[in-house]
Structures are given as C-alpha cells and as structure tokens.
A and B are shown apart, each in its own frame.
Chain A
Amino acid sequence: MSSFNIDVRQYDASGLPSIDVKEVWRYSGCRSIPEDQPSLDLMDSMLKEYGSIARPRVCFARCDRMPFETDSKGLARVISGSDEVIVFAATVGIEFDRVINRFKKVAPSKALILQALGAERVEALCDLFCSEFEGRTSRYSPGYGDLPLTTQRDVFALLQCESKIGISLNESLLMTPSKSVTAIFGIRHGDVNKDGASGVRGHNCAECGLLECEFRDGSENRDSSPASDVSPNSEPSPNGGD
C-alpha cells in the first residue's frame, strides 16, 4: 500500500511516438529489415491491426525518496542526486494479448510480429511518459541489472496497478497484459533536461545480465536469439527455443 498518490495517464494510441519499424523487425528476430514482398505485407497487415487494439495507459507515483527498499547499486547510481523518484507502470492493454493469442492459432508469423510491435509500442509509451518530466534521469526496471525481478512485488504494492490500469502480477512475477513495463527514474530539479549517458531508455549493455544477447554492445551476433534488451520485465521477443 502506498503512502504516495497514484496518478493515472491515458494516451491516445495515435499520440505515441511514431512506430520504429526497424525496431519491430529487430524484436521479431531480424538484424535488418527484410526486403521481400511477403515480409513487407506481413508487417503492413500488423501495423493496420495495431491502431484498433492499443489502449496505452500509465500509472505512477511521484515520491520524495525511494518508496521501498532495494540493494540495487545500478538503480542507486541512476537515481543518485535526484530530488524526486518516479515509479511507474505502463501498458498498451489486454487487447494485444487477445489478438496475439488469436494469431498464434492461425498465423504464427503474425503473432510474432504483433508481439514485437507491442514490445516496441510499450517502450515508446515509456519514452513519451518520461519525456513529460523535466530533469529526468534514465529509467531502470525490475529484472534488469542488479535490481531483482522480485522488486515487481514492491512496485505493484505501491502502484496498485490492477485497479489503476489493469496490470496484474502472477506468482511467477509475470505481468498481464504482457505488453507492460514497470520502471523507476529520478528527477533532478533544475537539471538541464537531458537523458543519462546511456540514452532515454536507460539501457547500458555493460550492466545487463543477458550475456548471450545478440544485440549486446560490442558482441557481434553470438546466436540467433534476440532477447529483451531494454526492459527485462516485459515479454521479451521469443527465440526459436522459447
């Protein structure tokens, strides 16, 4: 339960940053954009699907200190010197899961692209939400770096995500809707608004535990399994052996 007020923001799907198609292909396991017509048609059909199913929402708490305890050094480093800490949860909604599950039955390639699109969209939603705060640091998610995934329990207790925006956490610490992200960032009052050295999304490969990730900085293409890079608590793109 929270000693902080929980605010909710709803967004129009069309108001999100434009879709980074290259990123969607990447989440689908492609190192470059395929050029053949069937692939392009596949992507087009899923981009059309997207508009009607996304319901982007964020709930967050604006705190004058870290609202729960954690030993994470990585997080401490990111938010050091902050005057405020923002804990938030973002989702593009349950309809994504329904439509993805539907495509799994009839066209797995569409399911693959749509889940990648969902992952890209929820990150875009996080970017948009964070951009609304002056003096923000980069963001840091449970399950990333040395912040254990069990931190999800603290985040959920704080934000009451179920009732606020309809994200629930199961016993395995998985979120439903699957296209959801939780993260923490700091605000430094009076700071010139620029993002941390590791970029808006706050990813620093050196800190990340996914050593096998083929997108890891400085590691060239180790295997074909694309893994979640930015927010390890959202559903990573699948690889062949998921």
Chain B
Amino acid sequence: MDIREYIKDRILYLDGGMGTMLQERGLQPGELPERWNVLHPDIIIDVHKAYYDAGSNVVSTNTFGANSLKFSDEELESYIRAAVENVRKAASLSEGTQEKFVALDIGPIGKLLKPYGDYDFEDAVSVYAKTVRIGASCGVDLIFIETMNDSYDTKAAVLAAKENSDLPVFVSNAYSEDGKLMTGATPSAMVAMLEGLGVDAVGANCSLGPAQLKGVVDGYLENASVPVLLKPNAGLPRTENGKTVFDVFPEEFSDLMAEYVKDGVRIAGGCCGTTPEYIAATVSKTRTVTPVPVVPKNKTVISSYTHTVEFGKSPILIGERINPTGKKKFKEALREHDIEHILSVGIAQQDRGAHVLDVNVGIPEIDEPALLTEVVYELQAIIDLPLQIDTTDVVAMERALRRYNGKAMINSVNGKEDVMNEIFPLVKKYGGLVVCLTLDEEGIPDTAERRIEIARKIIARAEEYGIARKDLIFDTLAMTVSADDKAALATLDALDYIRHELGCNTSLGVSNVSFGLPQREIITSSFFLMAMTRGLSAAIMNPNSNEMMKVYYSFKTLMGIDESCGDYIANIDKFAVSTLTAPSASGTASGASGASAAPAADDGLSELQRAIVKGMKEQAAKITAELLKDTDPLEIVSEQIIPALDIVGKGFEAKTMYLPQLLMSAEASQFAFEQIKKKVAESGTSGQSKGKFVIATVKGDIHDIGKNIVKLILENYGFDVIDLGRDVPPETVVDAVVAHHAPLCGLSALMTTTVPAMEETIKLLRKEAPWCKVCVGGAVLTQEYADMIGADFYGKDAMATVRYAVSAVDN
C-alpha cells in the first residue's frame, strides 16, 4: 500500500532512537554508524526488528550520515544498499502484523550554507541527490528527511528528493527551546515552505523532549494541511558518570504522545534516547484513538527563512521600490551592478514598515536571470522579509525561486494560456503565492465582469495544475483614472467580487491610478483606502510615502484590527508629516532658516561642520540643502566638508575622537554629499573623482567591517571606490584593477590564516597590474608583515590609508 493512502485515516507509527541503541551494542566513539550496515548487519537487523515488533509501521534505514561528503561513491552505494536490505529483513523477521514500510533516512550534511556559511546551495542539492538516487533504486517506500536545523538546507534536501525520485517525502525539523530552528525559522514558516515544495508530511524531531515541544507541535497543527509527525527525544539528555541519560521514561513519554495524537498529530515515533519500549507504550495508548482528520487550513501565506506573512487579515504592504521603472538612479545602479544601492533601498522599505519586498531588476541590457538571483540572495542575507519575485523572464523566475529561502510571492501570471503554461509548473514545483493579473490575450478588459471571467479561468487552470485557490492572489489592475473616468471603479468592483464571491485574496499596484495627475499621492492614497474597504489584501506601494502610511494605519485603527490603536500611535512619527509639496514653492521664505557658512558659537566651526563633526546625519543633509540654494556645490565640499573631515581625522589620530565617532562623522558627511550629488546631477556638471580605488577582503576571510570603514572614508575624500566584497580570490582583484586601470588597491585580512592569500594577491597584482599601488591592513598585520609580503603601504588604521591614498594620487 502507498503510505500516503495508509495515513489518510490511520495513525502511523515511526521507530525510535538508533544511535543510542547502537552505542549500547558497542558502537565505538568516532565510528561511523553507517559502516555497521555492512560490518554488523545482524545487530542492525535486530534493532530494526525490535521496532517492528513494538508496532512501528515505518522503520528508517541506518543512513542518517550517509552522504558523499563522508563516504566514497562505492562505500556510499554499499552502505545504503545494505541498510535498506537490513530493514527489509527485519520486516520479514518481525511477527508484527501491522502494515510495514521502509524509509530512506536522510540527515543534514553538516555544512552551513551561504550566505552564512561557505557551502553552496546547489552543491548541497547534489550531495543529497546522490543519497536519494541510491536509496530510490533500492526500492524504499518513502524518504524521511529529519533533524534538519536550517530551512535552506531543508529545501536543498527536499529538492534533491523530489528531483530524483517519485517517492513520498516526510520532513522533520529540529527545533531549539525557543521554538525556532537554529537559523530562525518558526514552525509556520517551515510548513509554508515545505507544503509549497509538495512534501507529504511535516513535523519535528530530536533536540527536546515531548513536553518542551508543545509550542512547536501547536504551530504545526495550526498551520499544516498535510499530516503532522512528531518524534521527540526521551526528554533532555544529560551526562551522568560519562553516560548520556534521558529524563523521560516510557510511561510519561507515551502519555504525552497520546495527548498529542488526540490533538491531531498523525505520525508518532521517538528520537534520541527512545527505545522499542517507548514505541510500544505509545502504540498501546493510541491504538484506539480516532485519528483527527487532516483538513486544509486554506491560509494564504508566504514565508522568509524566519517567519510567515499571512494575507486576508490585516492589509499587507509590499514595497515597490526595488524596481527600475521610472527611476533613473536605480537603473544606473543595475547597470553598474551596484548591489549596495539595491540593498539600501530594501532596508529603507523595511524600516518604513513594508511586510514584503517586490524585487524587479528587469532592464534590457543586463543578464536578468543572473542579476535577479543574485539580488534575491543578497537581500535574504540581510533582510528577513519575504520577497515578491517580479519578472516576465521565465528563466529568471525559475532560478530566483529555486534559490529563494522560503515560500515566495510570484509576480506574475495572467489569463494568457502560454503564460499560465510557463508559470504554473514553477508554482507547483517550488511553491509560492502567485499574483494573477486579470488580463488575457485580448488585453485588459474595461469592465469588471470580464476581469472576473478571466479570474475564473485562471482559478480553473491553476486547479488543473494542482494549485489551490489559496495560493492565488488577484490583481484586478489599477488603470489610470486620468485616461478613463470609470477606470478605478471597474478595478474596485472586480476586486470586491473576487474577494467576497470567489474567496481569493487580492492585490493591487495602486500607484498607476494617479498617473498624469498633479500631487499623485493624494489620489493614490485615497484609492488605496477605497480598495482596502472593498477587500484589498495587499498593495504594491511606496512605503516611503507618508500619505500612504497615514491611510494604512488609519484604516487598521478604524477597522478594529489595531489593538488599542497601538500601531497607529507607535508609528505616528514615521508618517505624521505630509510628504506632499506645495504646488509652487518659489517665492516662499522657507530658505531663511539661518543656515550659513559663517562660524557660529565659539568653536570656530560652521553649522555644517559642526553637524559633521558631531555625526548628525539629518542635520548635515538639511544644512547642506539650505546652503546649496546660494552656494556653489564644490565650494561647500572644499570649504566645509573636507575641512570638517580633516578635523575628525586629526581628532582620531590624536585619540581625542574614537572609531565610532569617526564613522558617524563619515556617515553624516555622506548625507551631505548626497545633497550635493543631487544638485550637481541637476545642473549637469559631473563630480570630480580623485581616482579609482579597488578594495577587497582577501580570499578565505569574511571580516569586512574595517574594510567598509576605509571605503566609506575614501568615498568621503572623493575616491571612486570599487568594492569587491569579502572572501575575494586574487584573480578577481586583479581583473578589477586591470579593468578599471585603478592606481590604488587596498587589501584587508584579519586572520593569520588568510595573510598568505593576501601575499598571493599582491604577487599576482605585481605581474598583471604593475602600476597599481597596494595598501594592506587588518588586525594581524604589522609594518614588518606588510613589508614581507611586498605591500607598498601598511595602513594601521582607516585614516592612515586615506592619507596615503590622497598623497599617492596627488603626486
């Protein structure tokens, strides 16, 4: 019988601990348990048989660590084959009459994946794939991926299982006491991702005893639409006289398990410290329990690697700013591969309260699949919000979805047959909440009725692909009201119907509605409010707009979904001020705030200089903007900003100012520079660069705070810094120096173990780019060391490097 059939109306029993059982039977410390499949099949069969005798339906192969990182291909093959054979034998030897299944057991490969670790996601998929292929060829009944403590690693294993077999896949994660995975995912986030990937059962094992897993189990039962499994430890392990002992015994364990089964757990077993006795007790106490039916939860959710965002309750804000449309600066950033700029746009939106970020990097002249994947990856390294992947390039969509850590929002599909045929298979494979635009081959219908018709068609086609209605979110297309008086009404009528009659969530890119009108934010935000009252679940919008945020917080408060008006009050400072500008600003006296270049107070500093020296960013920006009204930008730089930076630099060198203060000043001057750049761009003259400076943390080293400090201050001093990041191979440094013909290059290393990589980089630079001066820095370096590896300059701190760079280009 197919195990998926079997669990439909029955409780399924798994086995208990393996490692602890083998240790009792003489497995030596350091010995790999998988070898015992071949060395001591009798013992292994014995343990397996004991579990079948105790009533387990599923016994897992002794292959927890069987992967190509630990074993050669031949070993791997022979251990897995033997492992499957051992379980089969145990099944036939056991006199238990229950239905018996063999699970291929897969544990984590023990590598932390990028961006945190240094192991590549696709490499992990390949390692898991090898194990899956061998196991599948042995004819196991299911794949059991267990004890996974990272969501990304879990995804790699599931993809490998799905791509290399048609077997049922059960996935079990190991939670910490705070109810999260090691890398932060909650049970609901795991459910969202794993159901999206199409696994057949989800749950938790190991780490904790049954009692401590209560919150985790509840999290699963509330969210999962597939059967929930639970395989706890026999309580918490502790060491007693050099032996590991557990504090929960079969009686208590099975009592707790019986409670969980009554609550809805459908698949029960044990992990570390549990024995056949635990399983037998659990079976006997739950045999007569009527299984709680597994019902679809119909929650519309997406997830990041930490949490879920649910649609259909409070409106969801999807930040629209990572998008080149109509944004000159952003387009330039894409062309120049300025990932930092893209990231800062993302961070700003999160700070403003966005729940989800839309990611669109489509401009004609770039390799969109590569860039989109990279941006998604980089965003996920620092921002824990779920992302909406926004592209019309199907290749880019697939690559980004594959690499995405969680369940993404997919933007978009529409009523065109060919588009549905391209997008729905991706949704099916990787999971996701897909935005459905109500247009088709005939374009965007004028009427609400036709848009609803298209929605029905999309729902039906999605169903054919096995995609549930809850994973569709409809965009009824906000059209420009200045072009058609009835445009907004058609959009809203269709939206209302789809939300309330078809029961699907809805989303709108609200900004379009006001195109061509003056003071667009007034119309856009009003439309946003109207749409929310008609049932809008999510808006793709600009979170930087105070007008939009006013409407959002007001709506929540007035609809009774903002408890005690808490969010409204807590965020009032963020949106209370109007972002609207008066229609004609000329002739007003707003510039008379008294900003001047003249010294004030008695420290001899101008206002701007004081703001920079004290590290006050907003002040610095404001004063600069004022000054720019009647002062030449370059004069502000040379007469005010640079002298202020010099004051700070000297203070730092004299140790009257410290590193945090140096940095805050640098940040403040950056704010001032932003204003100046804006002005210069308006007037069309280009800024002057002191020259190019390539900077990198060397291969093997991931420390970059110091490198970033140097970069920041170099930029303040007018250098055009090409930042290659961290862990940069020598060839990449050389390529950049050659491509830019950079006169200067800075290398950073913090570990003694990575200084050789620095030396190697310098050698290669000497050969390929002999014109380039190389400065080095980092905690382990000294002047002697720098001389030894052939650097031109040793920068003991950021200011030293900057002074050297200035003198090098001035000569």
A interface residues, Cβ below 8 angstroms from B: 1-5, 7, 10, 25, 28-31, 34, 36, 38-39, 42, 55, 57, 62, 64, 94-95, 97-98, 100-102, 104-109, 111-113, 115, 149, 162-163, 165-166, 168, 170-174, 176-178, 212, 221, 223-225, 227-228, 235-236, 238-242
CB-CB under 8 A from A101, the residues of chain B are 381-382
Neighbour of B663 across the interface among A5, A109, A149, CB < 8 A = A109
**Binary contact readout B145-188 vs A (1 if CB under 8 angstroms, 0 otherwise):** 00101100000000000000000000000001110001110000
Nearest-Cβ distance from residue B809 to partner chain A, whole angstroms: 19
Q: A104-B705, A238-B706 are in contact. Are A225 and B176 (CB under 8 A)?
A: no
Q: Are the CB atoms of A241 and B801 closer together than 8 Å?
A: yes
B801 touches A240 (CB 8 A): yes
Closest 3 CB pairs of A and B: A242-B706, A241-B777, A240-B797
Q: Which residue of B lies closest to A38 (CB)?
A: B615
**Which chain B residues border A172 with CB–CB below 8 Å?**
700-702, 751, 753-754
Let me know if B782 and A212 touch, CB within 8 A: yes
Chain A residues with Cβ below 8 Å from B776 are 241
List 9 extra interface pairs beyond A238-B705, A241-B800, CB under 8 A: A10-B177, A38-B614, A105-B343, A108-B667, A109-B664, A166-B183, A172-B753, A224-B796, A241-B776
Give bound CA distance, A106 to B703, whole Å: 17
Which of B116, B652, B779 is in CB contact (< 8 Å) with A225?
B779
Distance in Å: Cβ of B191 to nearest Cβ of chain A? 21
Partner-contacting stretch, out of B239-247, B252-260, B413-421, B495-503: B239-247
A60 to B805, CA, bound (A): 48
A236 and B796 within 8 A (CB): no
A171 to chain B: which residues have CB within 8 Å?
Answer: 118, 700
B750 and A95 within 8 A (CB): no
Q: CB-nearest residue of chain B relative to A143?
A: B752
In the bound complex, do residue A176 and residue B117 qualify as a contact, i.e. CB atoms below 8 Å apart?
A: yes
User: In the bound complex, do residue A108 and residue B666 qualify as a contact, i.e. CB atoms below 8 Å apart?
Assistant: yes
Residue of A nearest to B795 (CB): A241
Q: Which residues of A contact B779 (CB under 8 A)?
A: 225, 227-228, 236, 238-239, 242
Q: List 7 A-B contacts (CB under 8 A).
A: A1-B32, A55-B178, A223-B797, A224-B653, A240-B659, A240-B796, A242-B705
In the complex, chain A residues whose CB is within 8 Å of the CB of B116: 94, 97, 168, 176-177
Q: A64, B242: Cβ atoms under 8 Å?
A: yes
Q: Which residues of A contact B238 (CB under 8 A)?
A: 7
In the complex, whether B636 has a CB less than 8 A from a CB of chain A is: no
Q: Which residues of B contact A28 (CB under 8 A)?
A: 658-660
B45 contact set on A, CB distance < 8 A:
none
Report how far A2 CA is from B701 CA in the complex, Å. 29
CB nearest neighbor in A for B341? A105
Residues A242 and B778 in contact, CB atoms below 8 Å apart: yes
Distance (whole angstroms) from the CB of A29 to the closest CB of chain B: 3
Does the CB pair A108–B149 fall under 8 Å?
Answer: no
B664 touches A174 (CB 8 A): no
B-side contacts of A38, CB under 8 Å: 614-616, 661, 664
Q: Which of chain A's residues has its CB closest to B751's CB?
A: A172
Contact with A along B356-392 (1 / 0, CB 8 A): 0000000000000000000000000111100000000
In the complex the two chains form, what is the Cα distance from A123 to B148 in whole Å? 28
CB atoms of B797 and A224 under 8 A apart: yes
**Interchain CB contact (< 8 A) of A239 among B237, B384, B706, B753:** B706
**A112/B753 in contact, CB under 8 A:** no
A98 close to B31 (CB less than 8 A): no
Contact of A221 with B655 in the complex, beta carbons under 8 Å: yes
B203 contacts chain A at the CB level, 8 A cutoff:
no
B799, A112: Cβ atoms under 8 Å? Answer: no
Given contacts A38-B616, A109-B660, A240-B799, is CB(A10)–CB(B707) below 8 Å? no
Query: By the criterion CB–CB under 8 Å, are A166 and B706 in contact?
Result: no
Given A39-B660, A39-B661, A242-B778, does the pair A1, B347 have CB atoms closer than 8 Å? no
Give the residues in chain A near B778, CB-CB below 8 Å. Answer: 239, 241-242
Q: Which of B261-269, B521-529, B557-565, B708-716 contacts A (4 or more CB under 8 A)?
A: B708-716
A79 vs chain B, min Cβ distance (A) = 18
Q: Judging by beta carbons under 8 Å apart, are B655 and A224 in contact? A: yes
Please tell me if the beta carbons of A112 and B382 are within 8 angstroms of each other in the complex.
no
Q: Is A30 within 8 A of B614, CB to CB?
A: no
Is the pair A149, B706 in contact by a Cβ cutoff of 8 Å? no
B30, B237, B244, B701: the one within 8 Å of A174 (CB): B701
Whole-angstrom distance between the alpha carbons of A212 and B784 in the complex?
Answer: 12
- Total number of A-B contacts with CB less than 8 angstroms? 221
The reply to whether B795 and A163 contact each other, CB–CB distance below 8 Å, is no
- B112: CB under 8 A from chain A? yes
- B657 CB to nearest chain A CB (Å): 8
Shortest beta-carbon distance, A148 to chain B, in Å?
Answer: 10
With CB as the reference atom, state the residue of chain B lying closest to A61. Answer: B239
| B residues with CB within 8 A of A | 28-32, 108, 110-112, 116-118, 147, 149-150, 176-178, 182-184, 237-239, 242-244, 340, 343-344, 347-348, 381-384, 614-616, 652-653, 655, 658-661, 663-664, 666-667, 697, 700-710, 712, 748, 750-754, 776-779, 781-782, 794-801
Tell me the complex Cα distance, A94–B111, Å: 14
Question: Considering the chains assembled together, what is the distance between the CA atoms of A239 and B663 in angstroms?
Answer: 12
Q: Is the CB of A149 within 8 A of B753?
A: yes
User: Are B108 and A163 neighbours in the complex by a CB distance under 8 Å?
Assistant: yes
Flag if A104 contacts B704 (CB, 8 Å): yes
Contact A168 B750 (CB under 8 A): no
Nearest chain A residue, comparing its CB with the CB of B799: A240
Check A115–B29 contact: CB distance below 8 A. no
Q: Which residues of B contact A10 (CB under 8 A)?
A: 176-178
Q: How far is the CB of B702 from chain A (nearest CB, A)?
A: 6
Expressed in whole angstroms, the Cα–Cα distance for A224 and B797 within the complex equals: 7
B177: chain A residues at CB < 8 Å are: 10
Distance A102 CA – B383 CA, assembled complex (angstroms): 7
A57 to B615, CA, bound (A): 36
Contact partners of B111 in chain A: CB under 8 A: 162, 168
Question: Given the complex of chains A and B, what is the CA–CA distance between A100 and B705 in angstroms?
Answer: 9
With both chains docked as a complex, state the minimum distance between the C-beta of B595 and any C-beta of chain A, in angstroms: 19
Q: Which among A2, A7, A241 is the interface contact of B710 at CB below 8 angstroms? A: A241
Contacts of A39 in B (CB 8 A): 615, 660-661, 664
The smallest beta-carbon distance between B520 and chain A, in angstroms, is 27
State in angstroms the CA–CA spacing of A42 and B800 once bound together: 25
User: Given contacts A241-B798, A242-B748, A242-B750, is CB(A34)–CB(B660) below 8 Å?
Assistant: yes
In the assembly, what is the distance between CA of A50 and CA of B778, in Å? 27
Tell whether A168 pairs with B242 under 8 Å between CB atoms, given A98-B381, A102-B383, A225-B796: no
Contact in complex: B382, A98 (CB < 8 Å): yes
Asked whether, in the complex, the Cβ of A112 is within 8 Å of the Cβ of B110, the reply is no
* Cα(A162)–Cα(B752), bound, Å: 24
Cβ contacts under 8 Å, A1 to chain B:
29-32
The CA-CA distance from A171 to B664 in the complex, in Å, is 34
Give the chain A neighbours of B797 by CB distance below 8 A. 223-225, 239-241
Residue pair A94, B183 in contact (C-beta under 8 Å): yes
List the A residue with the shortest CB-CB distance to B343.
A105
Residues of B within 8 A of A29 (CB): 658-660
Q: Which chain B positions have C-beta within 8 A of A95?
A: 184
- Residue of chain A at shortest CB distance from B706: A242
Cα distance A5–B781 when bound, in Å? 39
Contact B340 A105 (CB under 8 A): yes
CA distance A228 to B751 in the complex (A): 11
A231: min CB distance to chain B, Å: 13
